[in-house]
């Protein structure tokens, strides 16, 4: 009987962990929520809220970041050391300049997804990551989700 209970607990833990993994829809909703906040309050106050762990814009591994159309990081919710830095030529482990791609996508289509490889801070491994970005005036608002290898 103990083995049955243990097996059931492992199964439930796996189901629960899977249910909490962010979806593409979660990413898009977070970006749209961030844009609505920035339009309501202005970008500077919105950035403060994006970085506040209780502000509703950091959701597990999901967080908001904002670039200008030249690649300067306006605000990064979980790594404020990047704020104000030129990120235009940042690249992934394969040399892909994903910020340039985000800017081009936002300028040409207004929104969409970019795929690249990035260090997952939770696992400390390089993983595929997909970021949804959307243009808002002179800004690009984005959030991303790590994918299974």
Higher pLDDT, 29 or 21: 29
Quickly state the pLDDT bin for 21 (edges 50, 70, 90). confident
Of 37, 82, 80, the closest CA to residue 57 belongs to 37
Sequence-distant (6+) residues with CB within 8 A of 52 are: 58
The pLDDT score that the predictor gives to residue 18 is: 42
Query: What pLDDT is attached to residue 20?
Result: 76
Which SS3 state, helix, strand or coil, does residue 143 take?
strand
* Interval 43-70: pLDDT, tens: 999 999 999 999 999 999 899 999 999 9
Q: Nearest Cα to 57, choosing from 146, 141, 119, 147?
A: 141
Reply yes or no on whether the pLDDT at 13 is more than 70. Answer: no
List Cα–Cα distances, 100 to 25, 34, 56, 77, 143, in angstroms. Answer: 24, 21, 28, 20, 16
Q: Widest CA span of the chain, in angstroms?
A: 62
Strand order in the sheet with 139-146: 73-76, 65-68, 139-146, 125-136, 111-120
Q: What is the mean pLDDT of the chain?
A: 88
CA distance 1 to 101: 55
Q: Identify the pLDDT of residue 73.
A: 98
For 128-134, what is the mean pLDDT? 97
Q: For residue 10, what is the enclosing H or E element?
A: helix 2-20
What are the chain's domains?
22-146 (3.30.450.20)
Confidence bin at 15 (pLDDT 50/70/90): very low
The string of pLDDT tens digits covering residues 22-36 is 999 999 999 999 999
């Amino acid at each position: 009987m103990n083995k049955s209970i243990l097996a059931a607990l492992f199964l439930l833990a796996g189901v629960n962990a899977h249910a909490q993994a962010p979806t593409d829809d979660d990413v898009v909703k977070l970006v749209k929520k961030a844009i609505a906040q920035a339009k309501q309050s202005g970008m500077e106050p919105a950035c403060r809220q994006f970085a506040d762990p209780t502000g509703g814009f950091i959701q597990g591994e999901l967080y908001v970041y904002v670039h200008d159309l030249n690649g300067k990081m306006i605000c990064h919710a979980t790594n404020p050391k990047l704020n104000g830095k030129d990120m235009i030529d940042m690249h992934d482990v394969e040399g892909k300049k994903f910020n340039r791609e985000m800017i081009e996508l936002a300028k040409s289509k207004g929104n969409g997804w970019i795929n690249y490889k990035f260090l997952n801070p939770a696992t400390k491994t390089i993983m595929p990551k997909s970021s949804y970005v959307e243009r808002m005036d002179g800004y690009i608002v984005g959030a991303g989700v790590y994918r299974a290898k």
